[in-house]
Structure 1
Amino acid sequence: MAYVEIVCLLIFVSSIFNLIKRPRIGANEPPLVPYRFPIIGHSYSFSHDTGNFLKKCKEKYGEPFSLYIFGNVRTFTGVDSTPEVLRNSEIFDFHMGTNKVFPIGDVLRSFTEINTTYMARVVHEQVSSKINIYTSRLQKELLFGIDKFFGDCKEPKVFRDIQGTFSRIIAKPVANVILGEECAQFEDIITSFTVVENELQKLRFVPKILFFIHPSLHRFFATLPLKFGWNPISRHRDLFVQRCKPIIEERIRQRKELGEEYIQKEDLLDFFISESEKDVVDNEYMNKLFVNLYQIVFASISTTSRFISLALFDYSGRPELWNEIYEEQLKIHNESNGILSTEDVNKMVKLDCFLKESFRYSTDPAGLPHTLVSDSYTFSNGTTIPKGRDVYVYMKDTAFNNIFFGETSNDFQPNRHITSYRDGKIIHTPAARIDRSFITFGGGKHACPGRFFAVVEIKMCLHKLILRYKIRTENGKIEPPRVLSLATFPSISGLIFENRNY
């Protein structure tokens, strides 16, 4: 029998075995929610109506609880047990858990190795901590994108695929910060940023049917093209080399020539050049630069465009908020003469509270997958999970919990994030701040290091849009978001933009 036939037979036998087996649950494990069909388990209920299904499971079985999904047992933590996962990052591996369902790491590692800890530090120190340096450049590039893609809208105009539009708008300021102002002028690089984000997102939606056999088989087929030398982002690497290699070589030449007199440029490209201290720009060096820079590109564009789009739908469907937020933005615009500084962005308290409420309201039903890498873990309630167990955070249990937000937790109320005192002092909890009640950006050591930069960028973009346009949904009502593969995405409906001055 040929080797290929033997492998196919083994896969078939393994498939049958795994499809008919029942999961083995230890006596002291979190309760496994009962299910009717041995093969399907909870897969249909979980995929069909994730939010309501998880809510019913939590109400009946407490937390943490386990589900049998796509042939595997997954444990879900609620508001009380989630902090245990987020603060114990040494035994709950976030990157391993994420890569099982979204193997972006495998795609990037085909070029070079990835150091996630190092990259998180770089983003925090070189991006989030330097927001004041980037503010004017962000504003310029955002205005360019708004003019290009929305225009004057003298007559009301309907725009669809809002997230796709904002991916294209956000790509240019991201290129400016990451690659520098020289590279940000190349239109094909900007297009590449948008396309690579879209192509990597497709990995999230690879059919989950192979999970019924084994998680590794799903990952195998999701990354199968890599094994034959085809990578979905290879052409973007080639374009990066074509456009950026001459710039990199020139910067290295200037460094050698000027020595200590060289003034480092404020972009991530120059930071990585200074860190490497290399004189030869070979393929290995370009691959490393490409991976380090483009994983930040993907995270920046994907998250920011999604959150801006969700916020716009939240804003456009709630006319009772329009005047209050508009007046704050107009006041800041007049005081700054239209040129925003970081201090001006920090004054956008009402917009910031609106944004935080939008983040909360559009929280993913469940996410932040972690894999337990220690021999076992016992939660504070006494239940124990074994090594290798995938643990998901039931995020909506935190976002809509009455413990934090009272009886109005299901209502959209931006002012809940503001505390007013009798002496007129106002304190608000910023949209980028993480605590037990707000985990949109994760938590613990693996909290999103770029969240401060992202929030500033989103606020600046919304500020310009709100001042320039009247924005409303087509039917004049609130358009609820969509849930795909556990993630929340904006509605596919259009938004109507109309110039305020006509």
Structure 2
Amino acid sequence: MAYVEVFCLLFFSTFIFHLIKRPRIGMNEPPLVPYQYPIIGHTYRLLYDAENFLKECREKYGEPFSLYVFGNVRTFTGVDSTPEVLRNSDVFDHSAGVNKTFPFTDIFEKFTDTKSSYMVRVVHEQVSGKISVYTSRMQKELVSGIEKFIGDCKEPKVIGNIQETLSRIVAKPVADVLLGEEGAKFEDIMVSFTTAEKALDKMRFAPEFLLYIHHSLYKFIAMLPLKVGWNPMTQHRDIFVQRCKPIIEERICQRKELGEKYIQKDDLLDFFISESGTDVVDDKLLNHLFGVTYMLVFAGINYGGRPELWNELYEEQLKIHNESNGYLSTEDVNKKMVKLDCFLKESFRHSSDIAMLPHTVVSNSYTFSNGTTVPKGRDVYLYSKDTAFNDKLYGETSNEFQPKRHITSFSNGKTVHSPATKVDRSFITFGGGKHACPGRFFAVNEIKICLHKLILKYNIRTESDKVVPSMKISSIKMPPNAGLIFENRN
């Protein structure tokens, strides 16, 4: 009975609060789309019909426009205003936007106080900047993972959860880059890498109706486990320490013995040890190394295909395979896999979320080029589908899957293509501006090498022989819940 009374009290207080607190929009702010119910606002339609609803709002009210969602005003930018958000990272803070409803930063604060700007520099310099170092190692681990988790497939084999299978395959090369060969050999570390995200999902238990009162109340309830000492990442920290502490101790010992003669290893663990500036292996160092490593795990582990395109892609990959004698170089991956790269970019475009990347205005205000102004504290979401399927950018065929659309042919026979790693106003899968994803070069290379091996070895099709559409959860796209059939080409 007490729980019912508390719920009723919360609901009643919410109702009264929102009768008093009507959203107030300034004169020059983006238009607030009218809504019927004072508390619900646009929440229901955004949750259950985001694709059609956002399209209607964009067509009727232009861009940017605002919605009343979970008791707060959210502004959505379109194809013209989105680049302004991505260019002005000093005004629009993505980390602040995410942390309002999911305490990612707070979870890792227990382990490390490392700033996101530092992690961006590390990925840019130590990962993307060393692709040529990692290519051969990545190739070896991907082949091993494909053999282990997919197998020979002399008889057609159905893999139901392809996303999970690919995560397991990708985990090993990611671990090799993060922890070196010594750390990547442990199976429980691989399992930890692929299940850590599920552990964080346990933090999403707070009821969403609390957002109607205020996002700070929702976050307070979500943070309660952390306040009483329970952190979903603790068990992963224990696995990391058990496996990696001996490696860390050995490397620090070598540094002491060799001094300036010590040659730093090509993995992030050794880099972070060097950056720490300490030779004492205590809980502080172990927590820090775990924190920075697993912050990168979430960015490094987490592909699509259309069966009728495999044969054309197969011809390109077979030619590259024969020319390289089966051993890919960085040049093979970057310069020769043109069709595969364009196929990948088109796949990224079609798998784009409907709306994504929440940003919070951290300056006093921002005025868009069309004259509308968003105030400090406003959450701004990128209506990414308006960019990904815009006729102004991609022509009347914008809704069609055309992997060759990113290749331009000239009358003199020369062809150029727009690579999957290139970010511009027409392609925002990896963000944009100076904060565009720094790991995209590594990620795209890894996916291309993996697809290269898969295409050469297997015929791949869906169980229905048809393209299965993505699942949609509000404005987010999820991989389809359908199996793939793998069959050995030979």
Q: TM-score range by the shorter chain?
A: over 0.9
Aligned counterparts, 1:97-496, within 5 A = 97-201=97-201, 203=203, 207-302=207-302, 308=303, 311=304, 314-316=305-307, 319=308, 321-346=309-334, 347-496=336-485
Structure 2 letter corresponding to 1:315: R
Q: Distance in 2 between matches of 1:498 and 1:69?
A: 47
Structure 2 letter corresponding to 1:217: L
Q: Distance in 1 between matches of 2:182 and 2:277?
A: 21
Q: Distance in 1 between matches of 2:400 and 2:236?
A: 43
Q: Are 2:46 and 2:474, in contact at CA under 8 Å, matched by a contact in 1?
A: no
Distance 1:12 1:488, change over 3 A: closer
Q: Are 1:197 and 1:301, in contact at CA under 8 Å, matched by a contact in 2?
A: no
Q: Distance in 2 between matches of 1:205 and 1:140?
A: 40
Q: Distance in 2 between matches of 1:232 and 1:451?
A: 28
Q: Are 1:18 and 1:212, in contact at CA under 8 Å, matched by a contact in 2?
A: no
Per-residue Cα deviation, 1:117-158 (whole angstroms, up to 9, x for no partner): 000000000000100100111111111111111111111111
Give the superposition deviation at 1:203.
Answer: 4.7
Give the superposition deviation at 1:296.
Answer: 0.2
Q: Distance in 2 between matches of 1:447 and 1:14?
A: 42
Per-residue Cα deviation, 1:11-41 (whole angstroms, up to 9, x for no partner): 6665233343421111221111111111211
Per-residue Cα deviation, 1:187-221 (whole angstroms, up to 9, x for no partner): 11111111112222555686532211111122222
Counterpart of 1:4?
A: none
Q: Distance in 1 between matches of 2:426 and 2:40?
A: 34
Deviating more after overlay: 194-203 vs 381-390? 194-203
Q: Distance in 2 between matches of 1:167 and 1:64?
A: 36
Structure 2 letter corresponding to 1:244: C
Structure 2 letter corresponding to 1:17: I
Q: Distance in 1 between matches of 2:394 and 2:379?
A: 29
Give the superposition deviation at 1:70.
Answer: 1.1
Counterpart of 1:24?
A: 24
Q: Distance in 1 between matches of 2:375 and 2:452?
A: 48
TM-score, normalised by the number of residues in structure 2: 0.96
Q: Distance in 2 between matches of 1:204 and 1:405?
A: 37
Q: Distance in 1 between matches of 2:101 and 2:436?
A: 19
Per-residue Cα deviation, 1:378-397 (whole angstroms, up to 9, x for no partner): 11111111110000000010
Counterpart of 1:62?
A: 62
RMSD value, Cα: 1.9
Q: Are 2:210 and 2:218, in contact at CA under 8 Å, matched by a contact in 1?
A: yes
SS at match of 1:497: strand
Q: Are 2:460 and 2:487, in contact at CA under 8 Å, matched by a contact in 1?
A: yes
Q: Are 1:249 and 1:281, in contact at CA under 8 Å, matched by a contact in 2?
A: yes
Q: Are 2:202 and 2:232, in contact at CA under 8 Å, matched by a contact in 1?
A: no
Q: Are 2:48 and 2:473, in contact at CA under 8 Å, matched by a contact in 1?
A: no
Q: Are 1:470 and 1:498, in contact at CA under 8 Å, matched by a contact in 2?
A: yes
SS at match of 2:66: strand
TM-score, normalised by the number of residues in structure 1: 0.93
Q: Are 1:205 and 1:485, in contact at CA under 8 Å, matched by a contact in 2?
A: no
Question: Number of matched residues?
Answer: 485
Give the superposition deviation at 1:114.
Answer: 2.9
Q: Are 1:332 and 1:344, in contact at CA under 8 Å, matched by a contact in 2?
A: yes
Q: Distance in 2 between matches of 1:274 and 1:281?
A: 13
Q: Are 1:104 and 1:203, in contact at CA under 8 Å, matched by a contact in 2?
A: no
Counterpart of 1:498?
A: 487
Structure 2 letter corresponding to 1:375: N
Counterpart of 2:45?
A: 45
Distance 1:206 1:156, change over 3 A: farther
Give ranges in structure 2 of 5+ residues lacking alignment: 1-5
Give the superposition deviation at 1:105.
Answer: 1.2
Q: Distance in 2 between matches of 1:206 and 1:405?
A: 41
Q: Distance in 1 between matches of 2:469 and 2:195?
A: 26
Q: Distance in 2 between matches of 1:8 and 1:212?
A: 14
Counterpart of 1:3?
A: none
Distance 1:364 1:230, change over 3 A: same
Q: Distance in 1 between matches of 2:257 and 2:356?
A: 50
Q: Distance in 2 between matches of 1:205 and 1:357?
A: 35
Q: Are 2:87 and 2:433, in contact at CA under 8 Å, matched by a contact in 1?
A: yes
Q: Are 2:48 and 2:474, in contact at CA under 8 Å, matched by a contact in 1?
A: no
Structure 2 letter corresponding to 1:294: Y
Structure 2 letter corresponding to 1:86: L
Give ranges in structure 1 of 5+ residues lacking alignment: 1-6, 303-307
Structure 1 letter corresponding to 2:17: N
Give the superposition deviation at 1:101.
Answer: 2.8
Per-residue Cα deviation, 1:251-292 (whole angstroms, up to 9, x for no partner): 011011111211110000000111122110111111111111
Distance 1:12 1:113, change over 3 A: farther
Give the superposition deviation at 1:452.
Answer: 0.4
Q: Are 2:31 and 2:65, in contact at CA under 8 Å, matched by a contact in 1?
A: yes
Give the superposition deviation at 1:222.
Answer: 2.2
Deviating more after overlay: 124-133 vs 42-51? 42-51
SS at match of 2:123: helix
